[in-house]
Amino acid sequence: AISAEDNITFACDNVGIGLTAPASKLQVDGGIQMADDTDTASASKVGTQRYRTSGNNSYVDMCMQTGATTYEWINILENNW
């Protein structure tokens, strides 16, 4: 098990979790769980996805570039209950 407060960098081509020969930069054998990323949308966040809830709603968002120098969290899917 890896336990660290800092970012972890791997010096290899592909990283596999739960498998020995990953075919992509990151391949996971099983589901992934993501949480709310509350950082402001920015160039360094482009491509980041987040899951969040508010009241009786849940959202899946992605940080996207929306102009030459602008970035926003764009909603991909919203669920109400």
| 80 to 19, 60, 61, 73: CA distances (angstroms) | 36, 12, 15, 19
> Which position has the token pair 């899946």?
60
7-65: per-residue pLDDT in tens? 777 778 898 899 888 999 999 999 999 999 999 999 999 999 999 999 999 999 999 99
Q: The whole model's pTM is what?
A: 0.77
> How do beta strands 57-65 and 71-80 pair?
antiparallel
